[in-house]
A and B are shown apart, each in its own frame.
Chain A
């Protein structure tokens, strides 16, 4: 929070799909060197919000400011050019393509040689960079020309994150990066999230797993039915309060004890059972 201007400011953004109000006046702020967790149950509007931030959708109302400047994204490419990189849970990688090809997908021009018709990929250089970048995050890639399909789920997420960081992302948006992973693999990804923060990136970490959010998050914004229930610094709130907010909202106060119990139990089995590492 050094320089006084937030990386991303979402100002009263709404999104309607026909008659459906997916987002109704959401505001949030992301600073450099901060992991901002976006929490909420299914249908809360998390996906819509990040799709607006990553240039897939346009907001119906409200403004997006990047480093204090209002922006209008027409495509994911525009968002990428402004340093906003989104890593999608299942759409991050193409399994049949090699690690290197995935790594440079859409950004091949940084590893080309020659001009015009003779422009070509410098395969050796591309392989070297991919291998080095993966090594920086502690993943041994034996052969960067091997298909991404041969990597584990956590490693795939890490390739996507390493790619985003290498291409100068200032803000990383991670869409449920840990939800399909086992405990061990999730911790690999979480460790890398912490590393990205240490490099002064802003991270928006979308999840419905409060335990994962709590492990790395600095700030928490809870969405519910297209509205924000508030943004909280880690000191201001407890894990139980977050869980409670996600699980039902204030009107269900009398059921809170049971709900919290239920949610905790569900999260525990969800975390351990999903896929053995």
Chain B
């Protein structure tokens, strides 16, 4: 084929599309736009409250990061055409799987962390296998998982310890080789240097208030980059889109739908465990009620990020910006001193707007020229 001639012919027929129109076709546009609006809003309302100080920024990034870790996984699963409502309960469950062996039985912490990940892989596998074998909606199957895991978490913890909280993880983490992967702070030198230079606030002893970047933020950014790479540039990514777009069509051309979807369920459970490890180790305790409602927050973040509830469309970057909106608003409301009750109202409204917007974008993408 004369590819040069082709190139010309194509250019001729291609209507020059403005960069703006191209941008419109991206699923994450809504979330990025929303984030800019939120930033502008709080810059005006809360500009002088410390929200945008180094500490404030780290704070809202950390809140966003924790949600972002599970939102990215939830987004991949939604693009693959399924939901996982058991994510929140998995967070609580993973928390006690880390804490009980480490605190009550004297296991080294790294071993109980690895155990938690093994358990997560198994839970994800069970979720995926039930969904794929029975053909039941994942909504129902994982709703069952939500209650089963939460019940197990409370039941096992009370049965073994007589309490609902397990403190003492900070002591267990001392000297452990794996724990810093979840609880350390990086960039302390940079923060110190910024503090010494007088650009960020320091305590009386010269240590900056924001002493470093928490690992949760690193996990979040890494997972986002990884998920984006997989979605846009790999074979697996194409399979994920195909599974969510039309599982039957995908199966007919040889995509291993059951394996892809089961793998995605395992990934959400693993993401929940990363969340749990970060949270329990930074707080120093596990609590049976951790992670409640996180499954819905993750789905909301994914939807704000452009994922369609019907699957087959969405982006990991979008989910990350969805989580960022979450974190910014949550901390913004906190810093402005508004009653935090209003946060939930905002969330609901935000999600409705996002769904309406996504619906419109999808119509444009598939019908409009």
Find out whether the CB atom of B248 lies under 8 angstroms from the CB atom of A91: yes
Find out whether the CB atom of B241 lies under 8 angstroms from the CB atom of A101: yes
Find out whether the CB atom of A76 lies under 8 angstroms from the CB atom of B252: yes
Residue interface bits A50-90, CB-to-B below 8 A is 1, else 0: 00001010000000000000000001110010000010100
Find out whether the CB atom of B366 lies under 8 angstroms from the CB atom of A149: yes
A143 within 8 A of B: yes
Find out whether the CB atom of B235 lies under 8 angstroms from the CB atom of A96: no
B312 within 8 A of A: yes
Residues of B within 8 A of A95 (CB): 245, 366
- Which of B3, B6, B312 meets A96, CB within 8 Å? B312
Residues from 85 to 143 in A contacting B, C-beta threshold 8 Å = 86, 88, 91-97, 101, 104-109, 112, 119-121, 123, 128, 131-132, 135, 140, 142-143
A195 within 8 A of B: no
B10 within 8 A of A: yes
Output the nearest chain B residue to A75 by Cβ-Cβ distance: B254
B365 within 8 A of A: yes
Q: What is the total number of residues of chain A having a CB less than 8 Å from a CB of chain B? A: 37
Find out whether the CB atom of A94 lies under 8 angstroms from the CB atom of B14: no
A188 within 8 A of B: no
- Which of A123, A128, A132, A149 meets B367, CB within 8 Å? A149
A147 within 8 A of B: yes
B133 within 8 A of A: no
Chain B interface category by residue count: 35 or more
Q: A75-B254, A91-B252 are in contact. Are A97 and B234 (CB under 8 A)?
A: no
CB distance from B346 to the nearest CB of A (A): 29
- Main secondary structure, interface of B, reads helix
Residues of A within 8 A of B344 (CB): none
Between B242, B253, B308, the greatest number of chain A beta carbons within 10 A of the residue's beta carbon is seen for B253
Residues from 226 to 271 in B contacting A, C-beta threshold 8 Å = 229, 233-235, 237-239, 241-242, 245-246, 248-255
B1 within 8 A of A: yes
Find out whether the CB atom of A97 lies under 8 angstroms from the CB atom of B253: no
A150 within 8 A of B: yes
Residues of A within 8 A of B185 (CB): none
Give A123 to B233 CA distance when docked, in angstroms. 8
Find out whether the CB atom of A106 lies under 8 angstroms from the CB atom of B254: yes
Find out whether the CB atom of A132 lies under 8 angstroms from the CB atom of B246: no
Residues of A within 8 A of B254 (CB): 75-77, 80, 106-107
Find out whether the CB atom of B312 lies under 8 angstroms from the CB atom of A97: yes
The 9 A-B pairs of least Cβ separation, nearest first, read: A149-B366, A94-B245, A106-B253, A77-B254, A108-B235, A106-B254, A120-B233, A91-B249, A96-B312
Q: Interface residues, chain B, CB within 8 Å of chain A?
A: 1, 3, 6, 10, 13-15, 229, 233-235, 237-239, 241-242, 245-246, 248-255, 308, 312-313, 362, 365-369
Q: Interface residues, chain A, CB within 8 Å of chain B?
A: 54, 56, 75-77, 80, 86, 88, 91-97, 101, 104-109, 112, 119-121, 123, 128, 131-132, 135, 140, 142-143, 147, 149-150
What are 28 A-B contacts with C-beta separation under 8 Å? Answer: A56-B252, A75-B254, A80-B254, A88-B249, A92-B249, A94-B249, A96-B245, A96-B312, A96-B366, A101-B242, A105-B238, A105-B242, A105-B253, A105-B255, A106-B255, A108-B238, A121-B235, A121-B238, A131-B6, A131-B10, A135-B6, A140-B13, A142-B10, A142-B13, A142-B15, A147-B365, A150-B367, A150-B369
